Amino acid sequence: MTRYWLAVVSRDHVRRGVELGFAQANHGKRSAVERMKAGDGLVYYSPRTGMREGEPIKSFTAIGTIADGPAWQVEEQGGCFRPWRRAVDYDRTAREVAIDDLRAELDLTSVPNWGMVLRRGLVELTAHDFDVISRAMVGQ
């Protein structure tokens, strides 16, 4: 059964992941990427351009499908950071879409305090929401 995921990550980090073809969520925690399976849909929501700073953008910034293969761990920044990742086939034709443009159509934003849900870093989306976001980002 296909599942759909929304990861909350700064746009700068999303762009790096798209460029290199990987997904990382919840500050590189293994459990986050191991929940994802080959064929699952993934959307990134970026509240800002940078992780702790940068311009607020509140937009969906990338979309793709989890590729076949296991999660793997990498070593970055001199061994201080060892995040877990999954391979992703990103749709490189996708355009950024502001969440405000889709709020009226999404299950995610239909509940009070929906922004608090995003603080989890990785949330499961309904198939409906993934379809709405996908159509807005890539026109399909």
User: CATH no. for residue 14?
Assistant: 3.10.590.10
How high is the pLDDT of residue 140? 60
How high is the pLDDT of residue 77? 66
Q: What is the pLDDT of residues 75-103, one digit of tens each?
A: 876 767 889 999 999 999 999 999 999 99
Report whether 79 contacts 41 (CB < 8 A). no
* CA nearest to 94, candidates 58, 59, 127, 125: 59
Our count of domains for the chain comes to 1
* Partners of 17 in beta bridges: none
- What does DSSP say about strands 4-8 and 41-48: parallel, antiparallel, or unpaired? parallel
- Ranges of residues in the chain whose predicted pLDDT is under 70: 77, 79, 140
Report whether 138 contacts 93 (CB < 8 A). yes
By residue range, what is the domain housing residue 9?
4-138
How high is the pLDDT of residue 8? 95
Distance between CA atoms of residues 26 and 7, nearest Å:
8
